[in-house]
A and B are shown apart, each in its own frame.
Chain A
Amino acid sequence: MSTPETAAPAAASDRIGRSEPRKDAGEKIRGRARFSGDINVPRMLHGKVLRAPLPHARIASIDASGAEAMPGVVAVLVGSELTEFDPYWGHAIKDRPILAIDRVRFQGEPVAAVAAEDEATAERALREIAVDYEELPVVGTIAESIADGAPFVHDRELRPGLFHGLGKLPEREGNVCFRYRLDAGSVELVEAEAELTVEGEYEFPAVYQYAMETHTVVAEFGDGEITLWASCQHPFLVRAEIADLFNLPIGRVRVIVPYLGGGFGSKSYTKMEPITAALSWKAGRPVRIQNSVEESMLTTRRHGMRCRMRTTATRDGKLLSRSVRLWLDTGAYADNGPRVCATAGDAAPGPYRWQAAHVDASCVYSNTSPAGSYRAFGAVHLQWIGESQLDELARQTGIDPLEIRRRNLLRPGEPVRPDGSGKPLDADLVGDVEKAAAAVGWGEPKGEWSGRGVSVGLLAAGAHPVSRASVRMEADGTVEVNVGTTEMGQGARTVMAQIAAEELAIDVELVTVQGADTRFTPYDRSTGASRSTTLAGLAVQRAAADLRERLLEAAAGAWGTERGALEVGGGGVRGPGREAVYPELIAERFGFTGGELVGVGEVRPEQGSGSYAEGPVFWEVCVGAAEVAIDPETGRVSVERMATIADVGKAINPLLVERQDEGGVLQGLGNALFEEMVFEEGILTNDNLLEYRVPRIDDMPAQMNGIIVENADGPGPYGAKGCGEGAQAASLAAIATAVADAGVPMNELPFTPERVWRRIKETKEADSR
């Protein structure tokens, strides 16, 4: 096991479990918070990217001379110029050139880049680049990707990236770039004996994260060094990948992360940093590239999926087996597809006791835009399917859906993976789902075309358990927390300040938390997988505790007192008959009105290597309940009541926990009811927010109830564990089970009025036969 030990719950505190105001509220409300697009560097140029109009084509020739000749254009870069280094990147699989080299593999793939004195000139220059394409056969769908004799999206040998992290790459198998399998017991034998079987085929569309701030990077390629200001969630992984790509020592790449205008996974790992750095290299000047929404949609998205699932049970509602075959469409480049695939495989059985389970999950290439991380990936894909089948079994047995879950849900300490590997269950799922059900009026009478549903799932959370932090106290007693967590809206800077203030027994107002600057900020693996409060927060807690020791030692040394006789409190150190505030101690130590004290803290795998198979760090709880009403005339689904469970161990800032889950609910609702990227033969046909509909204010459920559960069972500070993703998987799946309860079982997302209306019509016709 790689998980850090559970910290002992702290005594009642003024700073932990208190809804402190957000540290960043003032500057954000005033419009003063700096995002990457607000950064202006002297001599900075504006970059624009020429993107492929075709999903699959050989590049016969590129003539950029027209663009190069335009006044105001400083540099034009094409793929064939990338010869001074190995131009392929990709954290999981190194399959992606900085710019297309010999062929384009998706509509929107960068083919050339222009740097000009202003954005309008760069934009005009794109039109002066002539590219001749020879069209190639398009692999536009999962079915086409896995068909016998399908054209290969990639001919080259697949090479693992720096952060593959999932063991050996599989042998080449058509367009499959990663495969996850799980086998526990013999599904065949159990199925042969089973009394009840539910099976079906399901589809999940590609969807767009829509972080409102599009991917934005400023790159300055200097003499053997690169500085990036980037809208990235994982600055340290970007740094390593850029250093690897451009053959630079890690320390010569500096990544500075301003505020992020939303992430949701869309800014995880590396995205627009390589092309911006390469353009700055060519131009010899700093360059800013800011995507349009259309470009960001083509930069990353959620995986579309096809899934076949079969679940068996006894007539009295005891679950027996589950068998799952699924394919995820990762588009033209793997991005985070392998990990999404493993996480989907992990989520597929659902948190139940099985006599046998079989999962076979493939991540496949196609000629569509690349797919990566999006909030609760894997769980979002699978939970609604597994939970829909469980409810169908409940209907067939006449058992209440809540009761069938009570009977079959795993209990704390039981293995989550049916093969017994990895971390056992660390949450009270039965208690959680009962709370959610009660909040939507479970068991109360309901009208026609109205339905209620619950959903339960788990998400492998925490990623790799490595986080470091330092906490510095200045001579005036103010404190700076240096931690690599990216503030993208979740409130990390506020929570980190609360943790440091608690350990030092000072006011939260005295603590400042800045964004990462990899030149000075200690290493943190990433901001994602709901890991920051749990792992980076634990590193901050340890760093602040280390600083507390330095302060106590300083007092003991200065006063000639035993360290054990001293304690912190009231903004200073107290001992027998003596006390001093922190600035006095620092002044005494240095004999001067200057100096500082620094504490450091670290989280790393305590046993083993912290691998995916050993993990996860914790299982994020995805539990919710919904009440919906369907208009049978139009097929429109409205969500009347929604409850989600934030099973967080300890809520360091309860209001921020609730706010996280409210956001997750609306994204779950959007994914459930209307979001879908529509590809036709590889071409994205709804590449803007007029045609790609995200939830608006009037889509908000009439009642939203975020319930916090605090069982102090997390591995983070004060027993905390992460949240924020679970609500998205839970709400989507609860909407699916509620829609089925209203009489309209669905197997294809999103549940648009047209699809729901057609399903109602089909059901009526089947009934009247």
Chain B
Amino acid sequence: MSEVTTRIVVNGIPRELAVPAEELLLDTLRERLGLTGAKRSCDVQVCGTCTVLVDGEPVSSCTFLTCDADDRDVLTIEGFSESAEFAEFERAFTGRAALQCGFCTPGFVLTLKALRDAGELRSREDVIDGLDGNLCRCTGYKAIVEAAEALVGASGGPEVGR
């Protein structure tokens, strides 16, 4: 097995890693770096629970080779949750109870961030188109759509606690 030296900036921290050429980014993040916010589920790029951002683009880290992230920026939920921008996402998801088991939640949050950064989160239609690569088995999606609509400034459901 050949190892490849890969330089990646993960959540703002430069890393130099020697990894087997076939190692998946999800395994590098979870097993080498202890960043377990990205989860493994379908292994075939359908469920979106392993989503991280590579140079701002959402990718399924379960099918993305670590060596292909060489010289690129990787943002995981651990990194994003340290940012000031994150507070708005947290309020939207908490306020609508837009999560249940929470396994898929980081993937939804990061996908929404990428959509918004790209200017592609303007309407309910954008939300539904943009999230078609993320599965959630618990919520029935309605709450997630409401949370996402709050992020585009449209009106969502009732805030809790009233």
Contact = CB atoms under 8 A, between A and B. Distances in A.
Given A19-B161, A38-B36, A663-B139, A29 B46 contact: no
A293 B44 CA distance: 10
Contact of B135 (A212, A290, A491): A212
A656 B97 contact: yes
Nearest to A25: B94
Contact of A35 (B20, B95, B103): B103
A30 B101 contact: no
Contacts of A481: none
A264 B40 CA distance: 19
B152 interface: no
A121 to B, nearest CB: 10
B144 A697 contact: yes
B142 A704 contact: yes
A541 B161 CA distance: 22
Given A20-B160, A655-B160, A689-B47, A489 B100 contact: yes
Contacts of A664: 140
A171 B143 CA distance: 50
A694 B137 CA distance: 8
B60 interface: no
A688 B135 CA distance: 14
A29 B89 contact: yes
Contacts of B105: 28-29, 31
Interface stretch (B2-10, B63-71, B76-84, B115-123): B76-84
Interface in A438-496: 488-491
B28 interface: no
Contact of B140 (A214, A262, A293, A662): A662
Given A18-B161, A22-B94, A30 B137 contact: no
Interface string A686-705: 00111000111110100010
Nearest to B36: A38
Contacts of B36: 31, 34, 37-38
A35 B47 CA distance: 17
B55 interface: no
A667 B93 contact: no
Nearest to A39: B36
B94 A21 contact: yes
Given A21-B97, A261-B103, A262-B138, A29 B109 contact: yes
A490 B42 contact: no
Chain B interface main SS type: loop
Contacts of B99: 22, 25, 28-29, 489
A290 B81 contact: no
A339 B93 CA distance: 37
B39 A213 contact: yes
A204 B114 CA distance: 41
B41 interface: yes
A21 B147 CA distance: 14
A401 to B, nearest CB: 25
B42 A29 contact: no
B43 A210 contact: no
B49 interface: yes
Contact of A29 (B39, B81, B142, B162): B81
A26 B103 contact: no
A19 B143 CA distance: 14
A491 B97 CA distance: 10
A553 B96 CA distance: 41
A377 interface: no
Interface residues of B, number: 55
A293 B41 contact: yes
Interface string B24-52: 00010011000011111111101101000
Interface in B140-162: 140-145, 158, 160-162
A26 B162 CA distance: 19
B14 interface: no
Contact of A292 (B43, B47, B93, B100): B43
A739 B35 CA distance: 47
B104 interface: yes
Nearest to A666: B140
Contact of A19 (B38, B41, B97): B97
Contacts of A210: 137
Nearest to B100: A489
Contacts of A696: 132, 135
Among B47, B97, B138: residue with most chain A CB under 10 A: B138
A18 B103 CA distance: 25
A77 to B, nearest CB: 23
A593 to B, nearest CB: 33
A293 B43 contact: yes
Nearest to A668: B140
B160 A489 contact: no
Given A33-B102, A689-B46, A262 B161 contact: no
A214 B144 contact: no
Q: Which of B43, B89, B97 has the most CB of A within 10 A?
A: B97
Interface string A565-578: 00000000000000
Given A18-B161, A663-B140, A698 B128 contact: yes
A667 B42 contact: no
A260 B102 CA distance: 9
B16 interface: no
A765 B61 CA distance: 51
Nearest to B106: A31
Contact of B44 (A24, A662, A690): A690
A488 B100 CA distance: 7
A665 interface: yes
Contacts of A214: 40-41
Contacts of A292: 43
B137 A697 contact: no
Nearest to A213: B103
Interface string A188-210: 00000000000000000000001
Contact of A31 (B42, B78, B145): B78
Nearest to B99: A28
Given A25-B93, A29-B89, 19 more contacts: A19-B97, A20-B161, A22-B94, A22-B97, A24-B102, A25-B97, A30-B90, A32-B37, A32-B78, A34-B36, A38-B36, A212-B47, A264-B137, A655-B158, A663-B139, A665-B140, A689-B42, A696-B135, A697-B136
Interface of A: 18-22, 24-35, 37-38, 118-120, 210-214, 259-264, 290, 292-293, 488-491, 655-656, 659, 662-667, 688-690, 694-698, 700, 704
15 contacts: A19-B97, A19-B162, A30-B106, A32-B78, A119-B27, A259-B101, A262-B101, A489-B101, A656-B97, A663-B100, A663-B138, A688-B44, A689-B42, A697-B134, A700-B140
